[in-house]
């Protein structure tokens, strides 16, 4: 079923290049997280951190600021267009990477990471917005899965890149590599990315209009449960990411094999996104994501029981990998479902949804990470609670019915606030 507002502009690039470019935008944000994981210990030692858990702030502050910054790029993109917002964000990303590389104190590093988080929010919002400009419904979910599958290459190789850099150079070179890669993406986007904002959908920069359009997104019952549910699931994932180096690398004794294991998980997640792209148009985003959420909850319960009994690395890895696969099914499809009603205000809707998902998820993830006690119990307990919370929220959006294929009545009734 297609939205009556869906009328994609003519696009000069094919699907393969489009998917690769959108994945590159998202990958820059993922790179800023995953490439740092092997270096956290070295940074902690070099900058003389007293509390071992304090190193997690390098990830946590970045994630929280990414969520806070998500409120702005969508409104700017609805007024000035997608292309200038994306290009400006990537350019500033390059500059902040260089600042991180020369930081001589933990406080300066955290400040630069916070600013980078604010900027990279556009790299999360713009692909969502551009994708909504071009597609809707299950087709959007399919393309989002292809984008996710492509950018999952970054979590596969980023920790190994970080580990490789540490073998031959200082951790500061990791930020230099980030800046260089971002410069390459900037040139590519400058040369090839067209403007996708429909002229008739352009929104003025007025506080009342922006606030009204964002309010539409958070008031829509059909969307609310999905983006809040995604925030809970993402919070559990962030909790794992914050403590992954300590949990897998130190507690389970993976050591230098940690980046390889982390990359292996990402590889399986990439395959999951490919599978989602193949099946979602046949079965529907709701059916696929609802089944994945129920499986996710079941896996989390089993994993929590094992963690309470004291598990080892070779039970932890396969169960966590399966759980992360379910997160892939959940994330791409929940995003497509929640954005579906908002063709005319895609930027504002994507911004407010990303804000809620990232800020709530990052704060929740930081709390989970700080609860790390040398075992997998805090992460597993959080996954159970977050999964059940997401299920309740989805039931609210679906009025108590799961596995429905068609959109509920009135799904396209939202209109932007008039200037």
What CATH number is given to the structural domain containing 66? 1.20.1250.20
Residue 415 is assigned to a structural domain of this protein: no
Task: Report how far residue 305's alpha carbon sits from residue 142's, in angstroms, rounded to the nearest whole number.
Answer: 35
Which residue is it, tokens 């580990």? Answer: 163
HSE-CB of 252 using CA atoms within 13 angstroms: 22
Q: Region 354-361: what's the mean pLDDT? A: 80
What pLDDT is recorded for position 295? 95
- Integer-rounded Cα Rg, in Å, for the chain is 20
pTM: 0.67
Task: Report how far residue 234's alpha carbon sits from residue 349's, in angstroms, rounded to the nearest whole number.
Answer: 18
Say which residue, 413 or 347, is predicted with more confidence. 347
HSE-CB of 386 using CA atoms within 13 angstroms: 33
Exposed, middle or buried: residue 189 (CB in 10 Å: 0-12, 13-18, 19+)? middle
Residue 8 is assigned to a structural domain of this protein: no
Q: Is the pLDDT assigned to residue 69 strictly greater than 80?
A: yes
The greatest distance separating any two alpha carbons of the chain, rounded to the nearest whole angstrom, comes to 60
Show the DSSP H helices in 284-345 as ranges: 285-309, 313-339
Q: How confident is the model at residue 419 (pLDDT cuts 50, 70, 90)?
A: very low
Say which residue, 148 or 177, is predicted with more confidence. 177
Exposed, middle or buried: residue 12 (CB in 10 Å: 0-12, 13-18, 19+)? exposed
Which residue is it, tokens 């309470």? Answer: 308
Task: Report how far residue 335's alpha carbon sits from residue 344's, in angstroms, rounded to the nearest whole number.
Answer: 17
111: number of Cβ within 10 Å: 16
Residue 404 is assigned to a structural domain of this protein: no
Report the chain's terminal Cα–Cα distance, integer Å: 30
Task: Report how far residue 259's alpha carbon sits from residue 161's, in angstroms, rounded to the nearest whole number.
Answer: 9
For 153, 268, 289, 401, 407, the CA distances from 286, given in Å and listed in that order, are 26, 22, 5, 11, 9
Task: Report how far residue 416's alpha carbon sits from residue 419's, in angstroms, rounded to the nearest whole number.
Answer: 9
Which residue is it, tokens 């499986």? Answer: 295
Q: Is the pLDDT assigned to residue 344 strictly greater than 80?
A: no
HSE-CB of 255 using CA atoms within 13 angstroms: 2
Contact 402, 290 (CB under 8 A): yes
Task: Report how far residue 131's alpha carbon sits from residue 171's, in angstroms, rounded to the nearest whole number.
Answer: 35
Give the single-character DSSP code of 342: -
Residue 416 is assigned to a structural domain of this protein: no
Say which residue, 22 or 267, is predicted with more confidence. 22
Q: Region 368-396: what's the mean pLDDT? A: 91
Q: Region 167-196: what's the mean pLDDT? A: 91
> Which residues does 121 contact at the CB level (< 8 Å), separation at least 6?
65, 66, 67, 68, 69, 70, 72, 73, 89, 354, 358
Q: How confident is the model at residue 391 (pLDDT cuts 50, 70, 90)?
A: very high
Q: What are the b/e assignments for 30-43, b being 16+ CB within 10 Å?
A: bbbbbbbbbbbbbb
Instruction: Give the distance from CA 309 to its chain's centroid.
Output: 32
Give the single-character DSSP code of 406: S
Residue 61 is assigned to a structural domain of this protein: yes
Residue 236 is assigned to a structural domain of this protein: yes
Enumerate long-range contacts of 224-227, CB under 8 Å, 24 or more apart: 224/338, 224/393, 224/396, 224/397, 225/393, 225/394, 225/395, 225/396, 225/397, 225/398, 226/334, 226/335, 226/337, 226/338, 226/393, 226/394, 226/397, 227/334, 227/335, 227/338, 227/353, 227/356, 227/357
> Which residues does 270 contact at the CB level (< 8 Å), separation at least 6?
148, 149, 150, 152, 153, 156
Say which residue, 9 or 108, is predicted with more confidence. 108
Contact 349, 335 (CB under 8 A): no
- The predicted-structure confidence for 197-215, as pLDDT tens digits, reads as follows 777 666 666 666 667 767 7
What pLDDT is recorded for position 297? 96
- The predicted-structure confidence for 151-163, as pLDDT tens digits, reads as follows 667 766 777 888 8
Q: How confident is the model at residue 409 (pLDDT cuts 50, 70, 90)?
A: very low
Residue 419 is assigned to a structural domain of this protein: no
Residue 280 is assigned to a structural domain of this protein: yes
User: How many structural domains comprise the chain?
Assistant: 1
Say which residue, 392 or 256, is predicted with more confidence. 392
Give the single-character DSSP code of 199: G
Helix (H) or strand (E) holding 30, with range, is helix 15-34
Q: Is the pLDDT assigned to residue 64 strictly greater than 90?
A: no
- The predicted-structure confidence for 105-153, as pLDDT tens digits, reads as follows 889 999 999 999 899 888 888 887 888 777 766 677 778 777 776 666 7
CA angle centred on 257, ends 254 and 263, rounded to 5°: 115
Contact 58, 110 (CB under 8 A): yes
Query: 289 is in which domain, residue-wise?
Result: 16-192+201-397
Report the candidate in 337, 356, 352, 339 with the shortest Cα–Cα distance to residue 402.
Answer: 337
């Amino acid at each position: 079923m297609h939205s009556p507002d869906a009328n994609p502009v003519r696009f000069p690039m094919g699907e393969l290049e489009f998917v690769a470019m959108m994945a590159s935008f998202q990958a820059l944000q993922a790179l800023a997280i995953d490439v740092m994981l092997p270096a956290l210990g070295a940074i902690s030692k070099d900058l003389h951190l007293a509390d071992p858990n304090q190193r997690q702030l390098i990830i946590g502050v970045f994630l929280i600021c990414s969520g806070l910054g998500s409120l702005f790029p969508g409104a700017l993109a609805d007024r000035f267009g997608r292309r200038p917002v994306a290009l400006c964000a990537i350019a500033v990303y390059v500059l902040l990477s260089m600042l991180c590389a020369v930081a001589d104190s933990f406080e300066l590093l955290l400040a630069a990471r916070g600013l980078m988080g604010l900027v990279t929010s556009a790299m999360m919002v713009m692909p969502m917005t551009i994708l909504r400009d071009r597609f809707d419904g299950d087709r959007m979910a399919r393309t989002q899965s292809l984008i996710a599958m492509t950018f999952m290459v970054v979590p596969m190789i980023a920790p190994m890149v970080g580990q490789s850099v540490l073998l031959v150079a200082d951790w500061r070179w990791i930020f230099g590599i980030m800046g260089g890669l971002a410069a390459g993406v900037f040139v590519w986007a400058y040369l090839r990315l067209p403007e996708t904002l429909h002229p008739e959908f352009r929104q003025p920069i007025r506080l009342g209009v922006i606030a009204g359009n964002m309010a539409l997104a958070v008031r829509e019952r059909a969307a609310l449960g999905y983006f809040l549910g995604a925030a809970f699931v993402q919070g559990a994932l962030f909790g794992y990411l914050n403590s992954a180096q300590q949990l897998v690398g130190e507690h389970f004794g993976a050591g230098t094999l940690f980046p390889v294991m982390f990359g292996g998980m990402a590889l399986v997640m990439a395959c999951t996104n490919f599978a989602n792209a193949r099946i979602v148009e046949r079965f529907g985003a709701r059916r696929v994501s609802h089944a994945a959420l129920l499986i996710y909850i079941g896996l989390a319960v089993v994993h929590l029981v094992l963690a309470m009994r004291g598990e080892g690395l070779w039970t932890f890895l396969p169960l966590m990998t399966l759980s992360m696969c379910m997160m892939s099914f959940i994330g791409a499809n929940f995003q497509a479902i929640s954005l579906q009603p908002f063709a005319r205000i895609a930027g504002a809707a994507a911004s407010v949804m990303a804000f809620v998902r990232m800020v709530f998820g990052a704060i929740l993830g930081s709390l989970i990470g700080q609860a790390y006690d040398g075992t997998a119990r805090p992460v597993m307990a959080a996954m159970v609670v977050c999964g059940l919370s997401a299920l309740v929220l989805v039931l609210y959006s679906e009025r108590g019915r799961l596995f429905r294929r068609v959109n509920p009545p009135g799904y396209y009734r939202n209109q932007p606030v008039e200037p």
